[in-house]
Amino acid sequence: MVRTTPGSDAVPAPNPVVRAGSDPAAEGDVNLSPLRRAWERDHVRGRTRALLDRDAAAYLHQSLSTPCFDALVGAEGIWLTDADGRRFMDFHGNNVHQVGYRHPRVIDAVKHQLDALPFSPRRFTNGPAVELAERLGALAPDPLRKVLLAPGGALAIGMALKLARVATGRHKTISMWDSFHGASLDAISIGGEAVFRRDMGPLMPGAEHVPPCDPHACRFGCGGTCDARCADYVDYVLGKEEDVAAVIVETVRCTDVQVPPATYYRSLRDACDRHGALLILDEVPIGLGRTGTMFAFERYGIVPDMVVLGKGLGGAVFPMAALIARADLDVAGDRALGHYTHEKSPVGCAAALATLDVIEDERLLERADRLGAHALGRMRDLARRHALVGDVRGVGLLLGLELVKPDGSPARREAERVMYGCLARGLSFKIGQGNVITLSPPLVIADADLDRAFDILDAALADVAARPDA
């Protein structure tokens, strides 16, 4: 695992980071930002403007989508094309695009399946669904063997929560502040981001939260050495509560690329075992190769009791998610854990099988590792030359640059300016926790395109440094 945090000799020691706390603006590029409006003023023209206006008139507005800021007409490989013919390298892609957009093998499989069997009603199974469950069960290490599918990550998280309740006879959970597990009410109950929880009224009872492992900004004072004090705290809470069904964690937090050390997961695994709680790892955006291994937890030498996959499983075509659980957790045969209309979609399963083939045949795990190491080198170089870059970190092709002001506080406006500067130059990515540039390129990206993206980032950072008050 490649990671650069305070103390590394590769990057100058970053300024101490002041945390965003529960600031609802911490999610960053929300659509009410004045910088968003300025970007639209400068870049959005006739046909696109008309489509955006119709979109805003027809859809309910919400903070992270409608009103939108551009309209797409095409996607291919790493590229998005907007209605005015502009192209963007997509380093965001909601993390569905490990194999890129319109991968020919995925598209062929989907077209073929549409012609053969487009839908499979409840009570029937079908070949692609059986094959996918067998394949996922075989990919995961023992004892993770049994699978349930769902048309979305939050739904699969919900199934994991239900199964944990049935299997343990307990209902409480421990999850992490600042985490994201989906936007449904059960998922925001265990999630820890203010922008999703604020003003939503009573959330699910028994959903306890603890501080996450942020190795570069530890709330327990480990000073960057990570002696797993945050995991000890989970152990402490498990001991006090005694009736916790599950601890739920994003193996690597995707929004701002928090990569815990192995000691953290070893301690967490031990704590769960000691107190009879299940360990559920959410790998919805990062599983299936993004971190350089099929499952991110393989980096840590532990096996959870359940893992949740999603997003990229549908090959950037179809909404697909999966819960893979320990075989002996098959104990809810008389309950409905999922029961979703599109649960065993033959089309979605065909897309997923083709995606797994591409990941294996194109050796995308090795590719993520190799390109990730190269990207970290480029990011370290940016950190040396741009004072705004306080920390760089990554695992595989999940990469984060944390921007901080000279006093160490989060450089949120600057991060947004860098983002819009990159968009204007043809690079799209998201900002996590308000000040972390999160880069998540397709794993099929060509070396030269990856370098081109860092050149764009370099130019946008230089622009912001040259005009700090703009």
Ligand X SMILES: Cc1ncc(COP(=O)(O)O)c(C=O)c1O
Q: How many residues bind ligand X (CB under 6 A)?
A: 14
Where do runs of H (alpha helix) occur along 104-257?
104-116, 127-139, 153-168, 185-190, 194-197, 229-241
Q: How many CA atoms lie within 13 A of 317 on its CB side?
A: 28
The Cα 28–Cα 31 span in angstroms is: 9
Strand 389-395 relative to strand 398-403: parallel, antiparallel, unpaired? antiparallel
3-class state of residue 182 by DSSP: coil
Which is closer to ligand X, CB of 181 or CB of 405? 181
439 binds ligand X (CB under 6 A): no
The Cα 23–Cα 295 span in angstroms is: 32
Q: Smallest distance, Å, CB 248 to ligand X?
A: 10
Which is closer to ligand X, CB of 192 or CB of 292? 192
The Cα 445–Cα 300 span in angstroms is: 26
Which is closer to ligand X, CB of 182 or CB of 421? 182
Q: Smallest distance, Å, CB 319 to ligand X?
A: 6
Residue entry with tokens 């764009």: 456
Which is closer to ligand X, CB of 182 or CB of 400? 182
The Cα 400–Cα 395 span in angstroms is: 9
Instruction: Report whether 345 contacts 155 (CB < 8 A).
Output: no
Q: Smallest distance, Å, CB 437 to ligand X?
A: 17
Q: Smallest distance, Å, CB 121 to ligand X?
A: 23
158 binds ligand X (CB under 6 A): no
Instruction: Report whether 388 contacts 465 (CB < 8 A).
Output: yes
Residues 181-200 that bind ligand X (CB under 6 A): 181-182
Neighbours of 77 (CB within 10 A): 18
The Cα 166–Cα 151 span in angstroms is: 22
Site string for ligand X, 289-328 (x = CB under 6 A): ---------------------x----------x-------
Give the range of 11-19, 180-188, 224-232, 369-377 binding ligand X by CB under 6 A: 180-188
Q: Smallest distance, Å, CB 283 to ligand X?
A: 8
Among 14, 152, 338, 394, binds ligand X (CB under 6 A): 152
- Three-point CA angle 258, 268, 286, nearest 5°: 40
Site string for ligand X, 29-68 (x = CB under 6 A): ----------------------------------------
> Which amino acid is it at 318?
F
The Cα 68–Cα 39 span in angstroms is: 12
Give the range of 48-56, 174-182, 368-376, 395-403 binding ligand X by CB under 6 A: 174-182
What is the b/e burial string over 360-370, where b = at least 16 CB atoms within 10 angstroms of the residue's CB? Answer: eebebbebbbe
Residues 193-252 that bind ligand X (CB under 6 A): 250
Q: Smallest distance, Å, CB 156 to ligand X?
A: 8
Where do runs of H (alpha helix) occur along 259-335?
262-275
Among 14, 28, 93, 153, binds ligand X (CB under 6 A): 153
180 binds ligand X (CB under 6 A): yes
Site string for ligand X, 263-282 (x = CB under 6 A): -------------------x
Residue nearest to ligand X (CB): 153
The Cα 104–Cα 226 span in angstroms is: 44
Q: Which two tokens stand for residue 270?
A: 């031990």
Which is closer to ligand X, CB of 40 or CB of 250? 250
Q: CB within 8 A of 171, min separation 6: which ones?
A: 165, 205, 206, 243, 245
Among 89, 106, 154, 226, binds ligand X (CB under 6 A): 154
Give the range of 7-15, 146-154, 345-353, 421-429 binding ligand X by CB under 6 A: 146-154
What are the residues binding ligand X (CB under 6 A)?
152-154, 157, 180-182, 250, 254, 282, 284-285, 310, 321
